[in-house]
Amino acid sequence: MKPIVTSLVSLLVGIALGWYFGYVQPNTKANREAMKQFAIIDADDSMAAAVAYRTFILYDAGETQKAMQSLAWPIGFYYRYNKTRPLTQERSNFLAKIEKLASTNQVVATEINRKVK
């Protein structure tokens, strides 16, 4: 009788440990990673909304030059940051589009060539 009880307890402990380490731990880790990604997306959305809001306020006030500068800031930030990173085809194409825009728009040209302190 004792070997049967020991085997049954060992089986239950094995099932519990397997369930914990095979399901609960990976699931918790995946949820944690998903929450980090959502936080990054939320920060990106907040920044885009803040820039758009500021641009609308400036545009409505008739300050179109300042509105263009407000829009040029994220373009310049993206350009300067991604110019130093390994290029993918998509990133390379977008950087080329920014450079083409900068060749015809002085505000964008100034922003992408700005030195960050």
On whether residue 51 sits in a domain, the answer given is no
Instruction: Report how many domains make up the chain.
Output: 1
Instruction: Give pLDDT, residue 13.
Output: 84
On whether residue 71 sits in a domain, the answer given is yes
On whether residue 106 sits in a domain, the answer given is yes
pLDDT value at 97 more than 90: yes
On whether residue 49 sits in a domain, the answer given is no
* 12's tokens: 């239950």
On whether residue 17 sits in a domain, the answer given is no
Q: Which amino acid is located at 76 in the chain?
A: G
Angle CA 14–16–18, to nearest 5: 65
Identify the domain containing residue 91 by its residue range: 63-117
Q: How many CA atoms does the CB half-sphere of 32 hold within 13 Å?
A: 6
Q: What is the pLDDT of residues 48-85, one digit of tens each?
A: 888 888 888 998 899 988 988 888 988 998 898 888 88
On whether residue 79 sits in a domain, the answer given is yes
On whether residue 58 sits in a domain, the answer given is no
On whether residue 4 sits in a domain, the answer given is no
